[in-house]
Amino acid sequence: MTNLQVSICLLVDTFQKYASEDGKEHTLSKSEVKKLLQQELPEMLSGAKNQKDVDELIKGLDVDGDGEVDFIEFMILVASLGCAFRGLLPKKGK
Amino acid sequence: MTNLQVSICLLVDTFQKYASEDGKEHTLSKSEVKKLLQQELPEMLSGAKNQKDVDELIKGLDVDGDGEVDFIEFMILVASLGCAFRGLLPKKGK
């Protein structure tokens, strides 16, 4: 597999690993999101000063506000982290 | 690094590897997109019957129609492939 194929498979596996815990494998519940962040992106939560910060962060991932994070909303998080990881600004800020 | 961190680094590296060929490292030109698809997702282009199909595919990636594909537009491709790879429908179609 190419690097791009590997990365896509890892993303899908990661999403599915946490989303399927409650049996609803297409969405992450709030607790599943928190567990994903704690285990996959520990630095992200360690920067949060208190529980309110964590709740705000998780709330921000739920773009359509229905209390769950689906794969597309998860990919928005991944895209933002991708920009942050490499200091890549979307073209508008180029 | 965790699986999620590895996948994000691979995505950013892949984008940067092809985007930096023409010196403009924040965007993929049409030829850079074509090379990325040919080398990273060979099956995707092999399915295209003719050059017109390939051009349509690449045009579709350039969401804001400015002739280039930036990192966010690249991530939209990655998200769509992620859904296709695992048959994950966005929540709306759950």
The rounded distance, in Å, linking the Cα atoms of A91 and B48 is: 28
CB pairs under 8 A between A and B: 131
Q: Two tokens at A60?
A: 């921000």
Tell me which chain B residues have a C-beta less than 8 angstroms from the C-beta of A16: 86, 88
Residue pLDDT, tens place only, A9-56: 999 999 999 999 988 888 999 999 999 999 999 887 776 667 787 788
Residue pLDDT, tens place only, B38-82: 999 988 777 666 778 778 888 888 989 999 999 989 998 998 888
Please name the member of A8, A85, A89 whose beta carbon is closest to the beta carbon of B85.
A8
Q: Which CATH class is domain A3-88?
A: mainly alpha
To which H or E segment does residue A70 belong?
strand A69-70
pLDDT at B94 over 50: no
pLDDT at A94 over 50: no
For A94, other C-beta atoms within 10 Å of its C-beta total 12
The ipTM, to two decimals, is: 0.83
What does the pLDDT read at residue B91? 53
Question: Cβ of B10 under 8 Å from any chain A Cβ?
Answer: yes
Tell me which chain B residues have a C-beta less than 8 angstroms from the C-beta of A81: 8
Minimal C-alpha gap between A52 and chain B (Å):
24
For A8, other C-beta atoms within 10 Å of its C-beta total 26
Average pLDDT, chain B: 85
